Amino acid sequence: MRKYMIAGNWKMNMLRHEASELTRNIISGVADIKHDLDILLAPPYTSLDVVRGLIEGTKIKLSAQDVFWEDRGAYTGEISPTMLLDAGCEWTIIGHSERRGILDETDSIVRKKIDASLNDGLNVIACVGETLEQRENGETIDIVKTQVESAIAGLDIDDTSRFVIAYEPVWAIGTGKNATPEQSEDVHAAIREITGNIFGQDFEQLRIIYGGSVKVDNIKELLEMENIDGALIGGAGLNADSFVKIVKMAGE
């Protein structure tokens, strides 16, 4: 049985006082959830310490939205895995489509970040997904296969709970147009097969979460799919009420 993960990616939103208010409301909203699931908040760097202080002693975990692959040195503007651990992060998102698309992050950069993070003790959510054009050209599985293989081939990982793949079709992110549960499940099942071929039996335990316009009214049907193990949430995670409702549905 794979443990669900619900992660809120706040992107470049939330000043510190807003982050504080949102976090407080989420903490009180999820306080009575008994079910064992991973609840993550990924604020911008500037609010990591605010959120960290508030979630201490709760079931919520802290995530970054990105990371650099070197540990220290002359890399102006970058933040290393060790620094994120020092700031209280247990997780980081890597390879989000906004970084791939807007900042030209390649598969090999994504891989360097994954290696550095896992080696230093930071857990990883690696994002993959096709654009609308790629889907319309029938290339979805090929694109995702290339991204997944590049992210994990030869990866030395003894604990699969430290590594999560987020399938995020680019055309569904922030557009209000989510992939149907069936469309998502097809890709999630393919990802499980790809990871299984690379890693063998243990990768049945790998969590594959879905991201792309997840909302209160579609989370339930997505989570009913066999290979969907949670969600990476953008817009709906900026509102405590909707984020808490989504977490509660996953916890039922």
Binds ligand PEP by CB under 6 A, chosen from 232, 244, 246, 247: 232
DSSP per residue, 161-184: GGEEEEE--GGGTTSS-PPPHHHH
Which residue pairs from 98-103 have beta carbons closer than 8 angstroms and sit at least 24 positions apart in sequence?
98/11, 98/173, 99/66, 100/127, 101/170
Considering only residues 49 to 78 of the shown chain, the ones binding ligand PEP according to CB under 6 A are none
Alpha helices in 16-96 (DSSP H): 16-30, 48-55, 81-86
User: What are φ and ψ of residue 7, in 5° steps?
Assistant: -125, 130
Give 101 or 174: the residue with its C-beta nearer to ligand PEP: 174
Give 1 or 12: the residue with its C-beta nearer to ligand PEP: 12
204 has catalytic annotation: no
Considering only residues 197 to 216 of the shown chain, the ones binding ligand PEP according to CB under 6 A are 211-214
Give the shortest CB-8-to-ligand PEP separation in angstroms.
9
Residue 174 binds to ligand PEP (criterion: CB under 6 A): yes
Give 122 or 231: the residue with its C-beta nearer to ligand PEP: 231
In the chain, the amino acid numbered 249 is M
188 has catalytic annotation: no
Binds ligand PEP by CB under 6 A, chosen from 4, 5, 9, 51: 9
- The catalytic residue among 98, 105, 130, 168 is 168
Confirm if 219 and 246 have CB atoms less than 8 A apart.
yes
Q: How many residues bind ligand PEP (CB under 6 A)?
A: 13
Q: What are 9's strand-pairing partners?
A: 42
Exposure string of 48-73, with b = 16+ CB inside 10 Å and e = fewer, is bebbbebbeeeebbbbbbbbbbeeee
Contact pattern from residue 141 through residue 170 relative to ligand PEP, giving x for each residue in contact according to CB under 6 A and a dash for the rest: ---------------------------x--
- The catalytic residue among 96, 98, 130, 188 is 96
Cβ count within 10 A of residue 74: 6
Would you tell me which residues interact with ligand PEP (CB under 6 A)? 9, 168, 173-174, 211-214, 232-236
Catalytic positions are 96, 168
